[in-house]
Amino acid sequence: MGNANILVAGSANLDFVVRAAHVPAPGETVLGRELAVFPGGKGANQAVAAARAGAADVRMLVALGDDAFAAQLEAPLRDAGVDASIVRIAASASGSAFICIADDGENSITVAPGANMHLAPEHLPAFGAASHLLMQLEIPLASVHAYAQAARAAGVKVVLNAAPAQVLPRGLLDNVDVLIVNEGELAMLAGGHGGADLSMQCKALGVCCVVVTLGARGALVWRRDQPMIEHPAFAVDVVDTTGAGDVFCGVFTAELAGGVTLEVAMRHAAAASALACTKLGAQSGTPTRVELDRFLADRAQ
């Protein structure tokens, strides 16, 4: 697999994680257990996953505040081999997230975006040798739109993970090559078109390639005028699902940039996502290439 280049434009948050018997219902107070702090944010999680997948050189455009959190967010990116292009926002705190993880592995998350919301269109660096731009929706939508347009003009493939869910302008979707969504995000974007039929919902978006993650049921790829590709989830003992979707996105994009087929990219991304669920923390749970290859080899026997 040849070395490729990915630019990730997205968020970095410091995650404050507490374990509890169950996720609180509205108005409910739940007595949790230990508190742990992990580096996170959809953008940083996906950049680390892409870098650890070993198929690509990864750069990340990220905005950080002028606070103690910034160093805790920078170090893991460096350690994973991500080349960080950091925009310093002097008057803002770095992003943070407050996460409750239930004993069954499910979670609820509240994000304070901080510096992430100051990442502006003019901050986009030159694409250089980048073949793929990977983005999410934890930075301003206007910036996501501007970056996608710039990438399309430069011949760079745009991969968008449309999370957290929000309505997207037609002009943005027109510049997306691969859209990655879960079922809830797909339903919101499709606006009810096609009812419960995933294929019809994907078609309604007007994007040529849509990847739908289905949690414990795996994932599928819809492409215009081509058969759907489905991949079941790998069975693992779930500890923490936080960041599993981000690991999928990062590894899937790295594999595509490395030149493998969609089927292989799906298998590797599904395996990495499953492995991520067996450890605590979004980035700290991200598997290395060696771990991923070992996991796949064990399941091929």
Question: Which residues are part of the catalytic machinery?
Answer: 246
Pairing of strands 229-231, 219-223: antiparallel
**CA angle (254 as vertex; 141, 207 as ends), nearest 5:** 45
Number of other CB atoms surrounding residue 61 within 10 Å: 23
DSSP codes joined into one string, 105-130: S-EEEEEE-GGGGG--GGGPPP-TT-
SS3 of residue 178 by DSSP: strand
User: What residues have CB less than 8 Å from 100, skipping those under 6 apart?
Assistant: 17, 18, 19, 20, 23, 24, 30, 32, 107, 108
Q: Which residues contact 270 (CB under 8 A, 6 or more apart)?
A: 218, 219, 231, 232, 233, 234, 248
Distances from the Cα of 82 to the Cαs of 34, 54, 101, 176, in angstroms?
30, 11, 28, 23
What's the half-sphere exposure (Cβ side, CA atoms, 13 Å) at 72? 17
In angstroms, rounded to a whole number, what is the distance separating the alpha carbons of residues 161 and 211? 9
The Cα 238–Cα 247 span in angstroms is: 15
Amino acid type, 38:
F
Task: Kindly state the tokens that stand for 121.
Answer: 């269109």
CA atoms of 173 and 206, how far apart (whole Å): 7
Give the C-alpha separation, 202 to 48, whole Å.
Answer: 28
